[in-house]
Amino acid sequence: MCDRKVYQQYFLQINPLLGKVTRAIRAIAMWHSMCNGPKKVAKLLTILDEALGVMTNEEIAMQKTPEPVVNLIFEDVGSYLQDMAEEFEFKSVHEWHSAIEARVSDIRFLHEQGLHEMLSEFDVEPILDLLAEMETALSIATSGLKEAITTGEYVSLDIDSDESDE
């Protein structure tokens, strides 16, 4: 059994990442009011870069840790994200993330070229979809870590072995 302080350390690493993603969801949800102003678009791009960086951050990149309970939590998060990637017709989380980064690059290009009128026609729904699933994945991680902090254990959701769907 691991010292609960270790779980708290992981929680303190993950929880701010959840805040970055939630902030980006709020910003992208306000897209139509933000896409008209160059300063607003620049701010939005900064917020999106921070949120999308979470996905490549080592805390959410499902790195193996010396702690089996934390590994189990990260495995659930990874399984969830992979399932969602497939749901959105991507082969992997990396492919999904790269596709969204490309969309953000398109926004950046239009912004840098001063083509703000084209931004109002830009479909940001796929970006919002990824951010929403990242938020859910990070919520799985934080709730799992809270469970480990409170009880000293974590009961995996083990979604893949649920036979009731068959």
* Residue 53: per-residue pLDDT: 85
Distance CA 43, CA 57 (A): 21
Report the chain's mean pLDDT, rounded to a whole number.
86
Residue 158, pLDDT above cutoff 70? no
The residues, ordered by sequence, that sit 6+ positions from 13 with a Cβ below 8 Å of its Cβ are: 59
Distance CA 96, CA 137 (A): 14
Question: Considering the entire predicted model, what is its pTM?
Answer: 0.85
